[in-house]
Amino acid sequence: MNAYKGKITFDKEQCVLCQTCAFVCPAGAINITCVEPQKSYDFIIWHNTCTVCGNCTYFCPTGAITLSNTLAEATPQSEKYTSITANIVEYGECPNCHEPMINVPLTMLKRSFKTISEPITSLFKLCPKCRRDHTFERRVL
C-alpha cells in the first residue's frame, strides 16, 4: 500500500515575491532565487523536503500557496524525491513610468478593501512611486 501526503500548490499569478513562505518554512523546502534582477525569479518547492506543516499557506498574504488534502492531488510517497513545483515569477511593468514592478493580485485587494472599484484596481496597477504621485495630486491639488 502506498503512503500519501498532501501537496503544496503554487499560483504564480497571486505571488508578490514577499518571500514570507521561504522564511517561515522550517524544512527549507521553498527556494526563491533571482534569475534576472527586477525581471524574474525562480520559485521552487522541493516536495521531498516539505513536511506539509502548512506554515507557507498560513502566512502567505495573497493565497498563492495552498495545501491540498485530497488524495487525488497528493504526491505518492514513491515519487516524493522527484516531485518539485517550479515556476518563474515575472515582474510586470508600470503603465505610467514603465518601471518593473510586482503586480498586486485581486485577491490581495479583496482582503484589503471592503469594496473593490475601478479606481482602486487601476490605482494598484501603478508602481508604488506612481501610485503615491497619483494619490498626492488628487488630494493636494
pLDDT in tens, 82-94: 667 788 888 889 9
Percent of residues, the chain, with pLDDT higher than 70: 84
Domain count, the chain: 2
The four Cα atoms 70, 76, 81, 86 give a dihedral, to 10 degrees, of -40
- Cα separation, 34 vs 80, in Å, equals 25
- Cα separation, 6 vs 23, in Å, equals 21
Do 28 and 83 belong to one domain? yes
Q: Which domain holds residue 31?
A: 4-90
Tell me the pTM.
0.72
The residue among 69, 90, 111 that closes a domain is 90
- For residues 86 and 44, is the Cβ–Cβ distance under 8 A? yes
- Cα separation, 85 vs 72, in Å, equals 17
Do 29 and 83 belong to one domain? yes
Question: Residues 102-120: pLDDT tens digits?
Answer: 888 888 888 888 888 888 8
Do 66 and 129 belong to one domain? no
Do 35 and 71 belong to one domain? yes
DSSP classification of residue 90: E
CATH classification at residue 17: 3.30.70.3270
